Structure 1
């Protein structure tokens, strides 16, 4: 019996990111040098990349353009970190950080800025730094702050922000993601749906795409190991230590199934980036390349 052909996912733009090479910080001796990341991501068959933490890749646009172009790579997005639930007191510092990243993102020809909310516990040590829930005033500040950010980023740099639901932040579970979407203007704020983080927090990725398709502006592709996740949840393990345990695993060994997620995204009828991010900090320097190559072959088998 002949196997059914894979669907044609011609609206999906597949890429990878420094995260899949164990990169969480601009400079860290445990991380591979940026030149090796660029060499290996191209060797793995990816065309699109993200900037990763600002300062990891060269921040001079001319130099970065030269380094990416000669490897056949193109930047899809930059990433910023925000704590906008803290209100107007953090706006100036937030905008200074966002402007720096957005300027480079624009110079590289990308159109998206991935916005990650502040963690409520330290991602490395796991120490709780604030409450894991927001009161009404903080939630209102979060929503209005993201709208202000979306408006100003678009007016100043011509970029669209996509907010990244993330474990150990206030935008994580289906309930909190839905609340955030209902509390923000779709003309200014949309989502970067990270399949691994949403599954980590108990969400159904396909259901979210089918329910809020017009708000899905970007994808991060990753999977979680359900056995490790069960232990992480049972013992309230913080995200950073959970990553060290291997909670984010190589596809297709975890959840969610990426084929149905990509098929649901294809049905949205718009071109959309789907950037692989496995979360492997820290990892041995020789570990990422073979995983990246196998992951790219797997995604090709899905039609992407």
Structure 2
């Protein structure tokens, strides 16, 4: 499990879990889970186009995810965000199917980005993941307070001169970068589970921002480490374990919150 060919997977998984928790915290409080599901599917047409043109799949992935951010913002301006996200999802799937139909060769790079490839993290794949993770972490630390204020109290943020449009663009860009870096390990179909499951579980246990963020990081790291180990032992896809652990964490956290609320004593006021 700690062989030389597994080291890159452990390093990449640790970096991905960290930034997924940081950005995923805002995915939950900004109610952007649907966008976190749609943007990773930019991997499908991106990898298919890269395979068709004979270029690095990661380049095609970044291009299409970046286009997804711009299209998502534009569609949100002319209509509801959820409608725009749904249209973007359909567009990605349709364009990806078109590109795949234009090639007669089997495209393993496309399917590895869709479903994840635990043993496919090479040195060439690892460095972009580390650079993106470091960039996202620095930006998140820099804009944490204004983004938190804009996400929780947008009217107050506007009074303090914080641009909602700018914050939304930065947030979506960070979300796109995180999804792009996570795809080689967990795959497009389940990357949003890593973005939503641990942060949602953490926010079910604590309403304090920093405490909740720390719990989200702990849950995300535990999920990805457990998923890598279980995938190694069983030879099952790592994305399956990420999805199961994310859903399990959220279910347990919500159940504990419900139980603890029921255990609180009811204060009765006499004379009423």
- What TM-score, normalized to structure 2? 0.29
Structure with greater Cα Rg: 2
TM-score, structure 1 normalization: 0.27
Greater strand proportion: 1
Determine which structure has the larger helix proportion and give its number: 2
